[in-house]
Amino acid sequence: MFPTPIQKRSEAVRVTYQVFLPIALILWLLPLIAVASFSIRPLTDFTQGNFWGWPSSFNLFTNYGRVFFESDMPRYMLNSLMITIPTVVGAVALSCMTGFALGIYRFKGNLLIFFMFIAGNFVPFQILMVPVRDLTVSLNLYDTKLGLVLFHIAFQTGFCTLFMRNFIKALPVELIEAARVEGVAEWRIFWFVVLPLMRPAIAALAVLIFTFIWNDYFWAIVLTQGPEAQPVTAGITSFNSQFVAQYHLMSAGSIVAAIPPVAMFFAMQKHFIAGLTLGAVK
């Protein structure tokens, strides 16, 4: 078996492994641990440089209380939901259709279109920053949730199409042929035969896209400003006043903002892993 299980290696290797594993783990988690510990410190700890020492007081309730009741955080969370959920629904719905078209129908340029969907994923989105912003401004969509949703859908559909097309391609084509011989209309074949069989793919993709979009920071700060439309990832910085960075509140806000995708991951772990491997295996 490769790699050799650690229990079967020499004593020295085992000891080294046991020493380094916790160290690596702590290093890996350090930023998260720092954020978690910052979120319960008072601001004075930061001004006095007490980042890693024992907190001067435990302000768990004060900090989180302020996040929930004295800031725009609930508003930002709501914005995030109102951006993420329509994007997931839109991108998954569109890609079910594009995937069906590209996976089932044989037509000239099928592969070409499919490759363009894939190629789109390789364009670094940073270079689209300025044109997309200009476009949103000229469409009167700048600083609106709708604008963010539309652009997220547009950008995610490429990846989703790749995923869905490969999944549909793997379905037995006889099912569709059987339905065609029976005289079932194409859209009914899509709705009643293909869509129910895509449920696992839809679940996996929805979980994946949910975390992608929730965690998006780039487009959030490019296309929105202010609590009207900004999602929580961008909204965290709003704690900072003009001169003072409110690190303790930003930390608490970050923890709150991270809860939905993390909870989603644990609740839907099976689908999440499936989502990461499903498109890859075929």
Partner 1 sequence: MSGVRMEEVVKRYGDVQVIHGIDLEIADGEFCVFVGPSGCGKSTLLRMVAGLEDTTEGAMHIGGREVTRLDPAERGVAMVFQTYALYPHMTVRENMTFGLRMNGHPKSEIAEKVAEATRILKLEDYLDRKPAALSGGQRQRVSIGRAIVRGPEVFLFDEPLSNLDAELRVEMRVEIARLHKDIGATMIYVTHDQVEAMTLADKIVVLRAGRIEQVGAPLDLYRDPDNRFVAGFIGSPAMNFVTGVVQDGAVDVPALGGTVSPQVELPAEGTEVIIGLRPEHAKIDPNGTTLTVEITEALGGISYAYLTSSAGEKLIIEERGEISSALGDTVSRTFEPHHLYVFDKDSETRIR
Q: List residues binding partner 1 (CB under 8 A).
A: 172, 174-175, 177-185, 188, 192-193, 196-197
CA dihedral defined by 68, 74, 80, 83, rounded to 10 degrees? 170
CB of 116 to partner 1, least distance (A): 23
Nearer to partner 1, 113 or 184 (CB): 184
Q: Which of 46, 67, 42, 70 is nearest to 56 (CA)?
A: 42
C-alpha to C-alpha distance for 277 and 280, rounded to whole angstroms: 5
List helix spans (H) across 39-109. Answer: 43-47, 60-69, 73-104
Nearer to partner 1, 124 or 196 (CB): 196
CB of 276 to partner 1, least distance (A): 24
CB of 106 to partner 1, least distance (A): 11
Nearer to partner 1, 180 or 282 (CB): 180
Nearer to partner 1, 33 or 173 (CB): 173
CB of 278 to partner 1, least distance (A): 17
21: tokens are 């594993």
C-alpha to C-alpha distance for 204 and 114, rounded to whole angstroms: 21
CB of 240 to partner 1, least distance (A): 52
48 to 173, 239, 241, 246: CA distances (angstroms) = 68, 20, 19, 14
Nearer to partner 1, 170 or 259 (CB): 170
CB of 199 to partner 1, least distance (A): 8
C-alpha to C-alpha distance for 158 and 118, rounded to whole angstroms: 6
DSSP 194: I
Query: What are the b/e assignments for 150-161, b being 16+ CB within 10 Å?
Result: bbbbebbbbbbb
Nearer to partner 1, 35 or 195 (CB): 195
